[in-house]
Chain A
């Protein structure tokens, strides 16, 4: 069974009397352990699709099943709980809360677990080490470079050890060197830690780093 199963999903926005079909009958499967690059022009619905897989948005019709759970059938509350355990999400910007330092930001998802305070701290520091930022644990987001911020964001996304990672243009705002660091980190997570990853990207070179490439155009998967 595939980790991610999207079946005949439509997403329609209503603007006044007009209908805007953002996703038009998408069906796609992502096998366990795959690393998919989702490409397509701006406005083609990439973010929308990723949000549906992450369980932070709901399709107009169709079903989304991730890690064995049919998200479309869950209540808001159950969906939130599901997110906290099963997916890590990395945005292009703003993953971090400015008033919390790196370690506290990483530990944030752990607040929803039963772990003790010291255990949460330990895990957060371990995860920061994994992304190579153990020495920045006390830094606040504004004291970090864009690449470092994004690595903290990845640490935050993987700290609860979810099986699925979703990244929406994670390198879109970074210089080439920082982007390379992030891509290498994602590769490691896929290869060594067996995370299933879906990454939205504009950059064909970044897309080449994934195992699979998919293209979205005007709400339809073209390849």
Chain B
């Protein structure tokens, strides 16, 4: 610690070099943290999927709707417990995408029965079932807008076929809570309302984006999925049914491959930064041969000199890591507001720099600094005074 002022003095003296190294390292850690947060959010989303729920959609694409009548035909299959419509409504609040939260039109009673992870009291349930314009929102979204039970608000869909002259009016019948222990990964931001409302408000033109089916036995998932698809095989709207987990995975598999790619880039960048930092340190030490000679002459042991050099490079790591994490923390707050990227990440619940990610990023930076200093430190350790101080 006594030697820290000497180390700091050098870092300040060569401030340009210090700055560029710290920035390079910070960018690297920032990249890593942001990426990891993105990947984590994706995984978190998957965790909440349940094997006893199947999702049926148009076999061409999610954007093609299916007839409402499919609901009854699916329900008639043996082994099927409940079926609910689940339409991505794409509601915009105050016409501002920054205020976006996911909204779904569903068959209220069936849907809530299928999703025990949305914790609601009986009063809220019956209030919801009674009123066609009633809705349920997640605690996180309610907190975000300061909503209470009984409040009203309006949404307008950005999907053309769900649009009408005036916005949809909703009344909050209940605010659901989540239990992160029993049901990890539950999204606390979504809003659900009655499909019937959507259906009637669009003059019965709203069809169905997807059906959720709850089955008696998760082991039958594959069989029942096939049976559902066979029902509609020869119709105009053939279907594709899979477990909820698989359904969500297909959403994120692109993200998964992307993550792998970006992670490899991250590793490459980290390695480059390691070389850059190691080079910075070697340069710093080469310029300071005389100084190291003086220190050793004064009685600083080889080990102590090694320690001083290592603490300088480790300090670079600490600085880089800190700046990188601060950058990442702020950037992740901004992500949802960006075009394109914002659309992708907005649906993720709890998008934020997690402690483990930040700690890992910081640790990487510190380790990077440390490792970069190893060779220069070792060379300083080994160098003899007479060769350090020999001139011309």
Q: Which residues of A contact B (CB under 8 A)?
A: 51, 54, 56-57, 76-77, 80-85, 89, 91, 93-100, 104, 108-109, 111-112, 117, 156
Contact = CB atoms under 8 A, between A and B. Distances in A.
A76 B302 contact: yes
Given A82-B299, A96-B294, A98-B291, 12 more contacts: A51-B386, A57-B384, A57-B386, A76-B302, A83-B299, A85-B299, A89-B298, A91-B389, A94-B290, A95-B294, A98-B13, A108-B298
Contacts of B226: none
Contacts of A89: 297-298
B9 A100 contact: yes
Given A77-B303, A99-B13, A84 B391 contact: no
Contacts of B302: 76-77, 80
Nearest to B385: A56
Contacts of B3: 111
Q: Determine chain B's interface SS by DSSP, over half rule.
A: helix
B300 interface: yes
Contacts of A104: 5
A80 B294 contact: no
Interface in B78-96: none
A112 B296 contact: no
Interface in B369-386: 384-386
16 contacts: A51-B386, A54-B297, A56-B386, A57-B384, A57-B385, A77-B303, A80-B299, A83-B297, A83-B299, A84-B300, A99-B13, A100-B9, A104-B5, A108-B295, A112-B300, A156-B298
B294 A97 contact: yes
Given A51-B386, A93-B391, A94-B294, A99 B9 contact: yes
Nearest to A83: B299
- Interface secondary structure of A, over-half rule: helix
Nearest to A84: B299
B2 interface: yes
B298 A56 contact: no
Contacts of B13: 98-99
A94 B290 CA distance: 7
B137 to A, nearest CB: 60
Contacts of A93: 391
Interface residues of B, number: 24
Interface in B1-45: 2-3, 5-6, 9-10, 13
Contacts of A83: 297-299
Interface in B200-227: none
A149 to B, nearest CB: 13
B290 A80 contact: no
B171 to A, nearest CB: 69
Nearest to A86: B299
A84 B298 contact: yes
B152 interface: no
B266 to A, nearest CB: 35
A180 B386 CA distance: 28
A77 B299 CA distance: 9
B301 A56 contact: no
A28 to B, nearest CB: 20
Contacts of A57: 384-386
Nearest to A56: B385
A97 B300 contact: no
A57 B291 CA distance: 17
Contact of B298 (A51, A99, A112): A112
A136 B190 CA distance: 70
Nearest to B10: A99
Contacts of A84: 298-300
A89 B385 CA distance: 12
B299 A109 contact: yes
A76 B294 CA distance: 16
Interface in B279-317: 290-291, 294-303
A97 B294 CA distance: 8
Contacts of B295: 108
A6 B297 CA distance: 20
B301 A80 contact: yes
Contact of B2 (A80, A85, A94, A111): A111
Contacts of A97: 6, 291, 294
Residue from A80, A81, A97, A111 having most chain B Cβ neighbours under 10 A: A80
Contacts of A76: 301-302
Nearest to B305: A80
A84 B300 CA distance: 7
A99 B287 CA distance: 12
A84 B290 CA distance: 18
A76 B385 CA distance: 11
Nearest to A81: B299
Contacts of A109: 298-299
Contacts of A96: 294
Nearest to B387: A57
Contacts of A80: 296, 299-302
Contacts of B5: 104
Contacts of A100: 6, 9
Contacts of B2: 111, 117
Contacts of B391: 93
B219 to A, nearest CB: 69
Nearest to B290: A94
Contact of B299 (A95, A99, A112): A112
Contact of B301 (A51, A77, A94, A156): A77
Nearest to A157: B298
Which 3 A-B pairs have CB atoms at the shortest separation, nearest pair first?
Answer: A84-B299, A83-B299, A80-B301
